[in-house]
Structure 1
Amino acid sequence: MSTITINHMNIYYEQYGRPIHEAEDVLVLIHGYLSSSFSFRFLIPYLQEEHAVLSIDLPGFGQSDKALHFNYSLHNYGRLVLDILERFEIQRAILIGHSMGGQIALQAGLQEPNRIKKIVGLAAAGYMGPVKRSLVWLSYLPFFSWGLKVYFTKKDIMENFLAVIHNRTIINEEMVEGYLKPLQTKAFYRSLVLLMRHREGDLSTARVREITQPVLLIWGEQDSIVPLAVGKRFAKELSAADLQVLKQTGHLLPEEKPKETALLIKAFIKQ
């Protein structure tokens, strides 16, 4: 298990391909909500052939710490990604973010445009407001985190996967176990409560238009979690964006179409 300590937190990471210090382009993978580096396991083999790849588990998820002192705002997640790049002495990175990770990649790119060379948004979350105030207020009730755990435990797990995946034949025991295992600890639900409280909403249209890096947007045509309409809006409002749509594909692009996704990413890098 590889970890680095950032802001008194242990951050889990996986490193593949060429050594980071020898690579011209370092690809940094940022997972989505309720996920981890596990979600990129099929995409990484296609990317590591030519590039240095660094995949991280965000605080609160996967094998990283579920710290109570961390501010779980999207802006702060973006800042943390930049701190990780600094620790690895990565001067120019290409960020690849899935879902919430795509929004975090945009946040980081906006904060330090000179360090972020390009951005890839895989069904990147966007144009969502903060969590409803009523739910935030409820989060201060005693045992709220316990109630969240009960809620997630009782939800039909297969129903959840059917909602995010178009090609249902790829669902197997390894996938279910890989996504569910990190959700079984009390610490995870405590950090999830903090994310609900701290999440300030996605970048506004005005802020999105300030992003200057080239951005590749890859979307599943059948995505019901972050609909294609979000990708089309991003494509209009980003100053240098290319939207590519994969047919017969849902929200989990790295799971459903890893090879096709990797080919688009590698072509984008070479541009």
Structure 2
Amino acid sequence: MEKSHYYCSTMNILGVNVHYEVYEKYPTKPTMVLIHGFLSSSFCYRKIIPLLENEFRIIAIDLPPFGKTEKSTRFVHSYKNMANLVIQLVESLQIKKAYIVGHSMGGQVSLIAAKERPDLFEKVVLLCSSGYMKRVHPTLIFGSYVPYFYLCIKHWLARQGVLKNLYNVVYDRSLIDQEMMDGYMEPFHDDRIFMALNRMIRDHEGDLGAEELKLIEQPSLLIWGDEDKIVPVQVGERLNKDLPNSTFFSFKNTGHLVPEERPEHVTEKIFDFCQAN
């Protein structure tokens, strides 16, 4: 019987139980760490993992409070703390060097991790990364201290609905099927996620500024969708100017969910980028 090259596990880091998945078809291949975006999980990489795993050992992490990771109200949900969590998990797996890939919010987490540990993360791939966002409005931060404010968050997300949210993030709506809706909806069946999101509003510190971005010297690959409504392509072009060693690509007729919409193209760009000296 062939030995499985996939396993998932949980590790307690910074007081929270973190779910991660490992794909090691060829364990000696370079390691690639995948970080998802806001209101998402490692599920968003389901189409590119099978294409990447022949060339990389892959670690896909569910950031708190998303995916299968614990929905904690004690964890500080700042980008810096999330980056620290990623660093500690990667080090605990005895990984000395890795490529890091971040989608949307995961792009900011990846940038901070790369800035903090250039020795650990040698190249960065940003897929429609968030950029230049400020801290949330003080009124919203004040609201997060109001008892049961998390129910307002739950109500707002329920009113949006999974289908409406997916319409916002993909250009070709024919890609949306039941499997996709179920996969993105699953973590929200647990009410504790709304309590943790309430805490996240309080902890969110805003994105890295231009001066901090200029300190990130690792090679960076930026991939965008021209029709991205969540993080417009102009943000990617601005990041390309501020990151000193970056390359920028954008795909036509593509929205925010580039790993779902353009898996083959994204994988091809990642291969070329990681194999270049």
Q: Same fold (TM over 0.5)?
A: yes
Indicate the larger mover: 68-77 or 232-241: 68-77
Aligned amino acid, residue 9 of structure 1: V
Instruction: Tell me the distance in 1 between the aligned counterparts of 2:53 and 2:243.
Output: 28
Using the TM superposition, give the Cα deviation of residue 214 of structure 1 relative to its aligned residue in structure 2, in angstroms. Answer: 0.2
CA distance in 1, matches of 2:192, 2:216: 35
For normalisation by structure 2, the TM-score amounts to 0.95
Runs of 4+, deviation exceeding 4 Å: none
In structure 2, C-alpha distance between the alignment counterparts of 1:7 and 1:133, rounded to whole Å: 27
Determine helix, strand or coil for the equivalent of 1:62: coil
Which residue of structure 1 aligns with residue 126 of structure 2? 121
Question: In the alignment, which residue of structure 1 is the partner of 2:90?
Answer: 85
8 Å Cα contact 2:47/2:263 also seen in 1: yes
Match of 1:61 among 63, 66, 82: 66
Partner of residue 214, structure 1: 219
Match among 8, 13, 17 for residue 10 of structure 1: 17
Q: Name the CA distance, whole Å, in 2 between partners of 1:88 and 1:198.
A: 27
Q: What's the counterpart of residue 182 of structure 1?
A: 187
Give the whole-Å Cα distance in 2 for the aligned partners of 1:170 and 1:244: 22
Tell me, in whole angstroms, the C-alpha distance in 2 between the residues paired with 1:205 and 1:89.
32
TM norm structure 1: 0.97
Native 8 Å contact 1:17 1:50 kept in 2: no
Correspondences of 1:125-204 after superposition (within 5 Å): 125-204=130-209
Q: Could you tell me whether the CA contact under 8 Å between 1:146 and 1:186 is conserved in 2?
A: no
Code of the aligned partner of 2:264: K
Q: 1-side partners of 2:132 and 2:156: how far apart?
A: 26
Q: How many residues of Structure 1 are paired with residues of Structure 2 in the alignment?
A: 269
AA aligned opposite 2:247: D
Unaligned runs of 5+ in 2: 1-7
Deviation of 1:156 after TM superposition, in Å, equals 3.7
Give the 3 Å change call, closer, same or farther, for CA 175–101 of structure 1 in structure 2: same
Cα-to-partner distance string for 1:188-228 (whole Å, 9 max, x where unaligned): 01110111100000001100000010000000011110000
User: For 2:23, what is the secondary structure of its paired residue?
Assistant: strand
Amino acid at match of 1:89: Q
Matched-pair identity in %: 38
> How big is the shift at 1:73?
0.6
The answer on whether the counterparts of 1:215 and 1:240 sit within 8 Å (CA) in structure 2 is: yes
Q: Deviations over 1:95-119 (max 9, x none)?
A: 0000000110000000011111100
**What does residue 52 of structure 1 align with?**
57
Give the CA deviation at 1:159: 2.0
State whether structure 2 residue 49 is matched by structure 1 residue 40: no
2:99 corresponds to which of 87, 94, 100: 94
Following superposition, the deviation at residue 18 of structure 1 comes to 3.7
1:270 paired residue among 256, 266, 275: 275
SS at the partner of 1:161? helix
